[in-house]
Amino acid sequence: MNSANLQLDDNGSLKHFLTIDGLKREHLVSILDVAESFLNVSDRSVKKVPALRGKVVANLFFENSTRTRTTFELAAKRLSADVLNLNISVSATAKGETLLDTLRNLEAMHVDMFVIRHADSGAAHFIAQHARPGVSVINAGDGRHAHPTQAMLDVFTIRQMKGDFTPLKVAIIGDILHSRVARSQILALNTLGVSEVRVIAPKTLLPHDARESLGVHVFHDLEEGITDADVVIMLRLQKERMDGALLASEQEYFQRFGVTQARMKLASPDAIVMHPGPLNRGVEIESEVADGPQSVILEQVSNGIAIRMAVMAMAMNPRALGGESA
């Protein structure tokens, strides 16, 4: 499957947003720039722009995710779309309805965009391949595969705080093996041309060929990997996706890989600390770091609305952007 061909229309504009893979630097920069233009919408007395007026957006979440679903809902409403939130786990699939049946029934209700979160890798691609012309699909996370809007809000936050990507050394710490966020982050960071992407994790939480398959520098020692890093990103332990005992204990994990104030002193003095959430205090990160002056975790949450507004507007109605988003 050629992800770029599926995601882009004949003019090279975004029609779906399924993965970072296959997109060029200019596509990512365009998303960041449009998101920048949407940032001030949250500060207005009327928090809306008309970019998707008259459109219907359906949030199809087959997995729970309060933060992602809420920010997608807010983003769609700020674009003036009508929004349907479907708890699929207790509706269609419980009745034996297939993914394709669900799609066809919602298309019959004239839904214009689907935001899909699913436990199976490739679910969003499947919907995009079978959706009728004119319908856009946004991947809100599929299995271990991709979470492209999370990656984009992360790099948006990095650009906001650091400016130029090129000189940056970025350290990603934790459960790389099970993380769709990490895969999307690494693709985005490499596409945007950062100096170095490092992954820091125990061997049991890394793909065996991480260096070659992901294009990263691999570290099994946190203090070595965090030294001189400009950006420190932690990932949560995804115990729901772990088969067997990949960790001795959470306490041992924190002793070896938890980010503490003492360890942050090894990073660059102006390093920023990030976490896609939900974070586990005392397991991945010390509270003093999560709530400290280097943390931009809450900024990531705020930026998620602007990024998701940008992706939805670009995919559904690019012509509506001229002047209306500023």
Q: Bridge partners of 233?
A: 172, 274
User: Do 16 and 120 belong together in one domain?
Assistant: yes
User: Do 75 and 160 belong together in one domain?
Assistant: no
Strands (E), 26-122: 56-61, 82-87, 113-118
User: Do 28 and 152 belong together in one domain?
Assistant: no
- How would you label 98-117 residue by residue, b for 16+ Cβ within 10 Å and e otherwise? ebeebbeebbeeebbbbbbb
Q: How far apart are alpha carbons 284 and 251 in whole angstroms?
A: 10
Q: Find the farthest-apart pair of alpha carbons in the chain and give their distance in angstroms, rounded.
A: 57
Is 122 a domain residue?
Answer: yes
User: Do 101 and 23 belong together in one domain?
Assistant: yes
Is 213 a domain residue?
Answer: yes
Residue 103, by phi and psi: left (phi above 0), alpha (psi -120 to 50) or beta?
Answer: alpha
Is 309 a domain residue?
Answer: yes
pLDDT recorded at residue 91: 56
Question: Which residues carry a binding-site annotation for carbamoyl phosphate?
Answer: 67-68, 117, 147, 150, 277-278
User: Do 125 and 182 belong together in one domain?
Assistant: no
User: Do 309 and 232 belong together in one domain?
Assistant: no
Instruction: Give residue-wise pLDDT tens across range 103-145.
Output: 898 899 999 999 999 988 999 999 999 999 999 999 999 988 9
**Residue 169: which of 200, 140, 196, 201 has the closest Cα?**
196
Strands (E), the chain: 56-61, 82-87, 113-118, 136-142, 169-173, 196-200, 217-219, 231-234, 272-274
Question: Which residues carry a binding-site annotation?
Answer: 67-68, 95, 117, 147, 150, 180, 236, 277-278
Residue entry with tokens 């679910």: 123
User: Do 133 and 172 belong together in one domain?
Assistant: no
User: Do 123 and 191 belong together in one domain?
Assistant: no
Is 288 a domain residue?
Answer: yes
Is 326 a domain residue?
Answer: no
User: Do 256 and 166 belong together in one domain?
Assistant: yes
- A 10 A CB-CB count for 45 gives 4
Please check whether residue 304 is in contact with residue 325, taking contact to mean a CB–CB distance below 8 angstroms. no
pLDDT recorded at residue 1: 47
User: Do 100 and 112 belong together in one domain?
Assistant: yes
Strands (E), 56-146: 56-61, 82-87, 113-118, 136-142
Would strands 136-142 and 272-274 be described as parallel, antiparallel, or unpaired? unpaired
Which domain covers residue 175, as residue numbers? 148-301
Residue entry with tokens 């809007």: 149
Give me the torsion for CA of 53, 67, 132, 79, rounded to 10°: 10
Please check whether residue 54 is in contact with residue 76, taking contact to mean a CB–CB distance below 8 angstroms. no
Domain count along the chain: 2
pLDDT recorded at residue 210: 86
pLDDT recorded at residue 245: 45
Please, is 187 exposed, middle or buried when counting C-beta atoms within 10 Å of its C-beta (0-12, 13-18, 19+)? buried
pLDDT recorded at residue 324: 40
User: Do 42 and 179 belong together in one domain?
Assistant: no
pLDDT recorded at residue 318: 61
pLDDT tens sequence for the chain (326 residues): 456 679 999 888 999 999 999 999 999 999 999 999 999 998 888 889 999 999 999 999 988 788 899 999 999 999 999 999 987 665 555 555 688 888 898 899 999 999 999 988 999 999 999 999 999 999 999 988 999 999 999 999 999 999 999 999 999 999 999 899 999 999 999 999 999 999 999 998 998 888 888 899 999 999 999 999 999 999 988 654 444 445 668 888 899 999 999 999 999 999 999 999 888 899 999 999 999 999 999 999 999 999 999 999 999 876 544 434 33
Whichever domain contains 187, its CATH number is: 3.40.50.1370
**191 CB-side CA count, 13 A:** 21
Is 16 a domain residue?
Answer: yes
Is 165 a domain residue?
Answer: yes
Question: Which residues carry a binding-site annotation for L-aspartate?
Answer: 95, 180, 236
Q: How far apart are alpha carbons 95 and 106 in whole angstroms?
A: 16
Q: How far apart are alpha carbons 269 and 97 in whole angstroms?
A: 54
User: Do 112 and 157 belong together in one domain?
Assistant: no
